Chains A and B, each alone.
Chain A
């Protein structure tokens, strides 16, 4: 089992349970570039697993219209870098339709996309742009870090009456990753404490969750107990779980693959800094990529990407 297969399975189960659910995107009937939707067309047919031309703006608008007219589209934008092409529809229409119509319209669509570096794909195929979406009132944003949450969050996203963006990660897709036999929805807006610890709280997004767990294992050998929290949903953010943890550990590290300035870690840090100021014994430390476009040359890209070593260094820095 893998994260990729878990998403595919969650899609199939959602489509079996609800005839309104359909998949739409570029090459989705062939599985897309990451095989996520492979096989769905055999069970559900080409009307419900609908291929589109390379027209991100239009297909996002189509998903919005279909959702406003009673269906539950799951739109795939194969790289988050290409979400830029659909942003007008997503930001100016999908996010605001309910508000601007005075509550008459809802847009129960899901936009699935993936980001992340590590494949030498270059700066236009490797970004982590989730923080942009967190700045748009009306959108919900989830970022699963493993198979069970990928399936569970997707189920909840499909059931959600609002537009939900699901940000997957290309290097997480194919790692061996167990999944329970019976899938359960994972509610939006609830963080998970994936590793309890006494000494420092590490809030990590997506690929930085397994990296933080690896750092935590290494630090445990040195007697430092790290509590790793995966927010899972960025908007709405479960700040309470994070501040409760900081109330016990008094130290916070925030880790993501996105670049630091303007990254979602800045939002978490500011929110915790305000809500838990008296609990903090040290400044909040952020782990993030350098503020530059992502290189293609292997050595440069490897050096660019934050990982367990950076989390370890951040923890030691926070603990002084």
Chain B
């Protein structure tokens, strides 16, 4: 009977569970017997803890409990809600005292209905930390998501705040277990479930057909009329026939095809179909993929003979219920001379942004309480980066590009790489699981790092960059090496132009993080710290961390087999290392060239 029930559970499980299992039969998750489960469920409800997974016969009971645990929805009278809670308590076999406690506990929670904007979890987070007069800091998911630069959580038209889940609690499926390894049930209230280890390899799923992809990704519509269709098909070969929107579509399609040639790309696309496709609760939702002109924030760069994007490459924007989801990439990709390079880099960026969307969709389905703290989880970015870098590494055809360069940098020293990522404005508020357990200490450390960085930027603006430019001028005019230092001159001048704005942004972040630290030192701020600490223990975050760790090792193997190509400086163009060596040589041979320079900057 158990085996039959397990087979039924397995058959009904969402696709990711099936996709990740081997062909051989896998033992089902071990769950408590029904009578024991009621006790375990009751304890979890009363303690305000995560509800444990249920055996098949108790699944409906768990679903009722999870729904009621969200609190009284607006529109339902307190009396009606209390009646439902009492009925649940009766089914759980609670005595009158504990029934009373459950009624009081759940009755105190008020949940907003769709269409109304008020106390979402994020607003509660913000409200708990509403600053004293004069301070404007709102620690809502919207602010943090925006600050993170990962995605923007926006209100839908009609006023529903995007960070309010518009559905009830999920049915309570645990995260997919590792191959053959069940997640053990929580035998005692208060014990934390350990996350199952990640599967050893990403699922080697078949490539998706266009029908499946277009069911969840809106790449734009092909023209309908037969004459227009002929023109559309001929456009890649006859430039005169082409239109900008068709060119965009072809680029998007090509990037999707390239993604699918990699196991990580297939995995994220498959998971996107699982979360948004026809068999999902989000049926009908699609990720709109378009190019976008990011203006001055994005431009084509040429470094060491390789085209790249300077600045914004792409962004994902979505509402937490995924009714709106879009990925826009820089329109500069369409202007690359080397379109193979453009689509290859785009495939990596697209996989990265899709990973953000997939993970949030999974959390909203499995554990919506954790979807909001996830916006502050550093593993959110780590996971997305790994996906993008793996796609880029697998598409490596021996030509260097920015993505490969980053993948290589990560592989050289992951700890140092991530530490430096955490210092940048987009991610400075994000925390890894250890930091979530001590957020005040983590943010104090970030604040110190920010102050150090801002001071460095000030010194670069006031002295180091002008000094470098003056040294370039001496080598150029006095030593006749203008051509050799031309690229360095462009780099240094661009940095000097943009650093004041960069400093302004850094100082703003310093102010905000300072305010955040001050808030966390208040009693109300400590409530939020406690919520973060709980999120740090989340099985979902642990699972994503394990996935990241698996992908990190895979990246090391991929790069070992096919190292990222090094960037070669065009002949005659100096690197910074060579430049300063040339300065030293020039000083020794012609100190008179450097007299004015030394007067200005000293002889160091």
A associates with B? no
Interface residues of A (CB under 8 A from B): none
Q: Give the A-binding residues of B (Cβ under 8 A).
A: none
